[in-house]
Structure 1
Amino acid sequence: MANFSKTTPGSGGDLDSEFHSLTEYLMTTLKDQELTVLMSQMALACKATSRACAKAGIANLFGMAGDQNSSGDDQKKLDVLSNDIFVNALLKSGSCCVLVSEENEEPIIVPEKDAGRFCVCFDPLDGSSNIDCNVSTGTIFAVYEKKTPGKLGSVADVLRVGSDIVAAGYCMYGAATELVLCFKGQSVQRFALDPSLGEFVHTHSNVTFPSGGGKKIYSCNEGNFPYWDQPIKDAVTEFKAKKYALRYVGSMVSDVHRTILYGGVFVYPADSKSPKGKLRVLYEGFPMALLVECAGGKASTGMFNGSVQRMLDLEPTHVHERCPVILGSPRDVDFILSKYN
């Protein structure tokens, strides 16, 4: 990314006179027109969802929709609206053949006449249980390229290891709306939505974990401590003894975003209540794991199905499958995993 240039003092303001947008980044970085169109539509859906979150109180979008999603969680009104926004935007892109959403029990197979080469797995509004109290929420997504023959997509196109993902990202709706994304084999990029322009502006290239692991922070729902396995209990107990600070929002996007920028570790392990973990593989675990690894971190399941595994090596068998999640700086992830030796 080219250097930002500021207006000189006294020239009429302190705003950037030169800025670089997501549109520019996609057009100059990607050599694939279909993927460029897909990511542009994804950004449009993020903008629309950001607007909906900002106006939720005014538009009477707080509260429950009176239904449950694919995981059995009660749906908020904003869950339903954001899901409709993303489904409609992606269907209109002409780039997708399969869509998997947390809010839909079954995958959406795009009709052949409208189908493209890509499959998108997404959580349209992660952390929506916090929306009524104005806590940050977000969208998480992963993009695969179709592998089955023919133009019509199938479930087999998304039930694959996470290392097959070609693009992943999240958009956080907080004090500012930020889009963080990466493409396979490339670095993590950070964009902020400028409401006056209606455009994501490129703010940071090559986002990486702080040197040495960064701040001493561990992030987990410690209310589940009695249900964890002993190695996780031991690791958290030692974090406390080492004067690590506990920081936990309860919205995965917010917690992972802070972890990447500040350092430390985010942990949502399996426990006796949820032996398979709670977070979903395809649209929570995998995309966040790819982003963390591209930023120089590590992502593991911890002990899962009899062994300690790299998260991106999992082979899901169901679109809403769950897994334990341990991700963050190598310093802290390796420390937790050492407890299983």
Structure 2
Amino acid sequence: MQNRIATPVGITLDRFIKKKQNDFAFATGELSQLLRDIALAGKIIHREVNRAGLLSISGAYGTENVQGEEQQKLDVIANIRFIRALKNGGEVCAIVSEEDEEILDVQNPNGRYIVAMDPLDGSSNIDVNVSIGTIFSIFRRVSPVGGPVSQEDVLQKGSEQVAAGYLLYGSSTMMVYTTGRGVNGFTYDPSLGEFFLSHANIRIPKDGNIYSINEGSYESFEPHVIKYIKFCKKQNYTARYIGSLVADFHRNLLKGGIYIYPANKKSVNGKLRLNYECNALAFICEQAGGKATDGKQRILDIQPKSLHQRVPFYVGSTNMVDAATAD
């Protein structure tokens, strides 16, 4: 009992954000507040996810999103919750969501930031109690503050992100994010209502032995992907594929591995979305010492042409990504 009483609770997310804000001489606090707004929405989704089965909010909603995918009830709830938190926070001028066809102008012309998000990644796994997540990217607007939002604001290269992160709702809820100075992870303590620093300065191993890919599409993969899968099997690598991008990425980030969602005959341009899935995870992975590519070029160098643009995605340990994309 004495040891438990003496155990420190750690650094809270709010305190950590404040400390890091002080590292920037000209910081105004707006980005810090935006990260807090996202964390607040994450706490709300944590609550909804953990009582979904009791409140009958799991299962299909009965509509399709702009991607042509069947929306789950929690997809809709998460989208509403995050939009509401971001609007109320007052730091954003526009939001781009996987669930919405067009740019959401929040009628705040003085907002300096754009948020691109997948409110609930892996939502098809909700009904079977498998980990799901939220992915977000934050950009500084390029159009004049006080004026209308432009296409240039929301179609920026991933290299222009000022922050990115994800929330993972699993055995515990975590928030992992970067502002371009390393990657840190925070675990939510629901008894205190706070995120605490649990994974400081995350570094992905240069190599690993985990590969994550949906081998159900094996026959439609390009020859170099098939070749790499065969290589993984010969090396006795471990195959791990949850079907929730955030969960697969998070495991490989901590343990070393590669996540692959390549182009195939059905999805010739890949399936994952550049603006609110791949850019964020690529930024995080690079900040942790890893690599992310579409098989030909760095993800963060791709100039988006449309809001819901899809790309092939190879992300993870540097040596594994190099091997998987070699000719």
Q: Distance in 2 between matches of 1:176 and 1:54?
A: 10
Q: Is the contact between residue 135 and residue 165 of structure 2 (CA under 8 Å) also seen in structure 1?
A: yes
Q: Is the contact between residue 9 and residue 196 of structure 2 (CA under 8 Å) also seen in structure 1?
A: no
Moved more, 11-20 or 261-270: 11-20
How far is the alpha carbon of 1:204 from its aligned partner?
Answer: 1.8
Match of 1:23 in 2: 14
- Alignment CA distance shift 1:262-1:12 (3 Å): closer
Q: Distance in 1 between matches of 2:37 and 2:230?
A: 45
Match of 1:7 in 2: none
Moved more, 95-104 or 14-23: 14-23
Any residues of structure 2 matched to 1:200-239 within 5 Å, and which? 200-210=195-205, 212-214=206-208, 216-239=209-232
What one-letter code is carried by the residue in structure 2 that aligns with 1:267?
I
How far is the alpha carbon of 1:150 from its aligned partner?
Answer: 3.7
- Alignment CA distance shift 1:12-1:294 (3 Å): closer
What one-letter code is carried by the residue in structure 2 that aligns with 1:20?
I
Match of 1:329 in 2: 317
**Any idea what SS the aligned residue of 2:8 has?**
strand
Match of 1:249 in 2: 242
Provide, for residues 86-130 of structure 1, a one-character-per-residue CA deviation record: whole Å limited to 9, x for no partner: 0000011110011001111111012146x4100000000000000
Q: Distance in 1 between matches of 2:157 and 2:127?
A: 35
How far is the alpha carbon of 1:246 from its aligned partner?
Answer: 0.4
Q: Distance in 1 between matches of 2:32 and 2:70?
A: 34
Q: Is the contact between residue 110 and residue 153 of structure 1 (CA under 8 Å) also seen in structure 2?
A: no
Aligned length: 321
Provide, for residues 186-219 of structure 1, a one-character-per-residue CA deviation record: whole Å limited to 9, x for no partner: 0000100000110100112110012x413x1110
Q: Distance in 1 between matches of 2:64 and 2:198?
A: 37
**Any idea what SS the aligned residue of 2:294 has?**
strand
Q: Is the contact between residue 98 and residue 155 of structure 1 (CA under 8 Å) also seen in structure 2?
A: no
Match of 2:124 in 1: 129
- Alignment CA distance shift 1:134-1:15 (3 Å): farther
Match of 2:252 in 1: 259
Match of 2:165 in 1: 169
Q: Is the contact between residue 282 and residue 320 of structure 1 (CA under 8 Å) also seen in structure 2?
A: yes
Q: Distance in 1 between matches of 2:234 and 2:166?
A: 33
Q: Distance in 1 between matches of 2:62 and 2:268?
A: 28
**Any idea what SS the aligned residue of 1:207 has?**
coil
Q: Distance in 1 between matches of 2:122 and 2:100?
A: 17
Q: Distance in 2 between matches of 1:112 and 1:121?
A: 16
Q: Is the contact between residue 98 and residue 154 of structure 1 (CA under 8 Å) also seen in structure 2?
A: no
| Consecutive unaligned residues in structure 2, runs of 5 or more | 22-26
What one-letter code is carried by the residue in structure 2 that aligns with 1:22?
L
Match of 1:294 in 2: 287
Match of 1:141 in 2: 136
How far is the alpha carbon of 1:12 from its aligned partner?
Answer: 6.1
Match of 2:184 in 1: 189
Provide, for residues 139-184 of structure 1, a one-character-per-residue CA deviation record: whole Å limited to 9, x for no partner: 0000000001242322320201100000000000001001100002
Match of 2:306 in 1: 318
Q: Distance in 1 between matches of 2:299 and 2:273?
A: 12
Q: Which of 89, 96, 100 is matched with 1:100 structurally?
A: 96
What one-letter code is carried by the residue in structure 2 that aligns with 1:285?
C
Q: Is the contact between residue 90 and residue 108 of structure 2 (CA under 8 Å) also seen in structure 1?
A: no
- Alignment CA distance shift 1:66-1:164 (3 Å): same
Provide, for residues 311-335 of structure 1, a one-character-per-residue CA deviation record: whole Å limited to 9, x for no partner: 1111111111110100111110111
Provide, for residues 224-271 of structure 1, a one-character-per-residue CA deviation record: whole Å limited to 9, x for no partner: 111111011111111111111100000000000001001011000011
What one-letter code is carried by the residue in structure 1 that aligns with 2:171?
A
What one-letter code is carried by the residue in structure 2 that aligns with 1:19?
G
**Any idea what SS the aligned residue of 1:206 has?**
coil
Q: Which of 88, 91, 94 is matched with 2:87 structurally?
A: 91
Percent of aligned positions with the same letter in both sequences? 41
